[in-house]
Amino acid sequence: MQTMNKLCVERDMFSIFKWATYLLIFTLFQASRVLAAEPEPTDSDVTTPPAHQSAIPQTLKEDSAVEEKPAPWPDKIGPFELQSNDKQHTLRLGLAMQLLFRVDNKDRGTGQSRENQSYAEARRIRPSLRGSLVNGLFEFYLHLNTSPNTLDLLDIYLNYKPHDYAQLRLGQWKIPFTRYRIQSYKRLTLADWAITSKSFGAERQIGLAIHSGLEKPQPFDYALGVFSGMNARSSHAVGIATLYGETIPSASNLAEPGPKMEFHPEFVGRFGYNYRGIDIQRDTDFKGGAPRLHAGMSASYDLRPDEALDFAARFSPEFLLKAYGFSFFASAYLGWCEETTGKKAPNLAMVGGLLQTSYLLTPHVELALRYAIVHNLKEARHDARRRADRLIASAEDPSEVDALTESYQKVGTITKEHETSFGVNVYIIGESLKWQNDISCLIHDRIEDHRQDIRFRSQLQLAF
């Protein structure tokens, strides 16, 4: 009887999500028709002026027509800039806010009832300050995260641009590993990054790089840099730490900074080719038109990676195609790490893949689909489990044994993570004011069982 009740509850939950999705798509589609409507004049709208109006000067008629013409709907907000009298120096103020409503229906395993969680939060509140000096020869950028209970220093750097193909950047920012991750979170096609980004990165580090324009690259773009090897935050590139049951400290948290980590140089490089002037700052094809494409590859190598925390090496090829409002993106990820037992030579530990496509139904409404996978390979899982068992066995205090046992209980058990998402976006004022909605199926392949979670997200973004 309990089994039958559980099946009924699960069927009811999936039915609710299914019909909620249908209703959401229908509502957004109808709204898009209203937003995108551009009424055209018909024969009945054109009338012949009475005879007594024929003496009105033509110039007055033209002025009247200009005044009556409605202003075009904006496609962005801002920018808000201050400029020096000689126009050689500018200062731009920026702000991004994201309000998120989320519902999770979680699978707790065999014999356990599913768990429902829902919450709303101010997910990101990020002010920024960007300055341009000497007609763009120098540029500096300061970017903070001020969400509730959080104060993070995200980006702070100085960029020197003597030539488009020879720019120098010094400071803290995202290491140039993959075009997908370099793009801004404000321009994501779905409400958040794919699970591959959380596992493989890239994250912000302090470093020095020569590049051809990271955010606005040239037809042939590149970036070569050396970085600290220490992630400033624990949001991305945490695949190895998660595999081994560890946590990377957030050194950029200004409220409660984590412990300082030892400097270990990491070399990062990215090369790409952009055909027909493709816009690679976002995946959505707002411009439309003939096919355009981007192909690139990224690699990183850490000279002395921290045990059980860092990748020793990463590699990722990418491909982006845009045409007539349609976009298709594909990437693969490979990550190596050093074993904690036996040989120290890096072994392939994790592989992943990401497929994402979207289509603009109208200038204001977009449909998107994503599939991502992260696979923890067998040798790395076994090494992580052996390390966890050693740490538990070496503990002497019983309370410490219990704490370590609980902390490392999942180490080596998760083989694959899958994410399948469908999204509907409404661009109210371009990407400055947009409403994103997606529903996802998250599958966790474990040694003992397979679990399926359902996630719904609705996010409103204001950014300039």
Give me the pLDDT at residue 213, please.
Answer: 93
- Mean of the pLDDT values across residues 32-48? 44
The number of C-alpha atoms within 13 Å of 437 and in the hemisphere containing its C-beta is 18
Find all residues with CB under 8 Å of 270, minimum gap 6, and list them: 176, 177, 178, 179, 221, 222, 223, 296, 297, 298, 299
Take residue 357 and report the two structure tokens written for it. 């496509």
Take residue 341 and report the two structure tokens written for it. 């037992």
Lowest mean pLDDT among 37-41, 150-154, 195-199, 420-424: 37-41
Q: Encode 294-340 in three state secondary structure.
A: EEEEEEEEECCCCCCCCCCEEEEEEEEEEECCEEEEEEEEEEEEECC
Mean pLDDT of the chain: 87
346-395: pLDDT as tens digits:
999 999 999 999 999 999 999 999 999 999 999 999 999 999 999 999 99
CB 114 within 8 A of CB 104: no
233-269: pLDDT as tens digits:
889 999 999 999 999 888 888 877 777 778 999 999 9
* pTM listed for this prediction: 0.84
Give me the pLDDT at residue 269, please.
Answer: 98
143-180: pLDDT as tens digits:
999 988 889 999 999 999 999 999 999 999 999 999 99
At 322, the pLDDT band (50, 70, 90 cuts) reads: very high
Higher confidence at residue 53 or residue 268?
268
Q: Running DSSP on this structure, what letter comes out for residue 53?
A: G
- Mean of the pLDDT values across residues 5-25? 47
Q: Is the pLDDT of residue 48 over 50?
A: no
Give me the pLDDT at residue 15, please.
Answer: 52
Give me the pLDDT at residue 14, please.
Answer: 47
Lowest mean pLDDT among 58-62, 201-205, 219-223: 58-62
